[in-house]
A and B are shown apart, each in its own frame.
Chain A
Amino acid sequence: MEQSHIANVDEKRDFEVNSSNLKHVRSFCREVFEKLNINQELKDELILAIAEAAQNIVKHAYNNEQTEDKMEIKISVSDGHLEIGFFDKGRPVEKDKIRHRKIDDIKPGGLGTFFIQQIMDAVVFKEGEKPWINHLILSKNLNN
């Protein structure tokens, strides 16, 4: 098997769940992706997907309510396979209710999930292992 030219990384960080921390989520992603040999366009797309997923935690798992809870974001790359884990203690995700709006239906909202699905290869919701409630995994093969 050919070895990937993309470095392996495994980093995680906690963020308080509120919208003012989304910029810190993006900074963390930029820091991690700086270590990878991937183009800027792909880095920007991945940062958008991660920020949208973090925003969904603030908006939907916590209904944008004030909390002292933290979410954890873990970024791992192994042999060019990127996996991003999101862990939170908010309301359990109702998987059946997650869908982006129809793209032809022009109205504000509902685009975040669409962006995530456009950018990533796979989006998987799992029940979180204690103490977490929700565990979202976004993945993408960076070798393509």
Chain B
Amino acid sequence: MTYKVTEEGNISTVHLDGEIDMDVTEKAKEVIMPLIEAKKEVHLNLKEVQYMDSSGISVLIESHQKAMELGTKVTLKEISKSVLKVIMMAKLEQILNLD
């Protein structure tokens, strides 16, 4: 997995790229969580994520819940077909902010 972070006002966009499994979830959290803790609105761009398993889904849930707790928001942007399928399999499409 690789990533790139762009900033625009109070919105930080994290562009994730590659496959997100148990091996890279800590790395993903290390990128995403400090932005949420800084009370940024976080956009996760998942266009280039070709594979995500339950560990990746856990990162999305954790990020969403942390953001709610701190009064900010995480939005999933340009979700790839394969990631959307896993989100739907987990029945999270009504819980997470999908755009």
Contact = CB atoms under 8 A, between A and B. Distances in A.
Interface of A: 19-20, 22-23, 26, 41, 44, 47-48, 51-52, 55, 58-59, 103, 106-109, 111-112, 114-115, 118
B11 interface: no
A107 B89 contact: no
Interface of B: 19, 21-23, 51, 53-55, 57-59, 61-62, 65, 82, 85-86, 89-92, 95
A109 B53 CA distance: 11
Contacts of A109: 54, 58
A55 B53 contact: yes
A59 B22 contact: yes
B52 to A, nearest CB: 9
Given A19-B22, A44-B85, A48-B86, A26 B54 contact: no
Given A107-B65, A114-B90, A115-B53, 14 more contacts: A19-B21, A19-B22, A22-B21, A22-B23, A26-B51, A48-B53, A52-B53, A55-B22, A59-B22, A103-B90, A106-B61, A109-B58, A111-B54, A112-B55
Given A20-B23, A23-B21, A48-B86, A103 B54 contact: no
A111 B22 contact: no
A51 to B, nearest CB: 6
Contacts of A118: 89
Contacts, number: 60
Contact of A19 (B19, B23, B57, B91): B23
Contacts of A115: 53-54, 86, 89-90
A22 B54 CA distance: 13
Contacts of B90: 103, 111, 114-115
Contacts of B21: 19, 22-23, 51, 55
B45 to A, nearest CB: 21
Contacts of B95: 106
Contacts of A55: 21-22, 53-55
Contacts of A47: 51
Residue among B54, B91, B92 with the highest chain A CB neighbour number at 10 A: B54
14 contacts: A19-B21, A20-B23, A22-B21, A22-B23, A23-B19, A44-B82, A55-B53, A59-B22, A103-B90, A106-B65, A108-B62, A109-B58, A112-B53, A114-B54
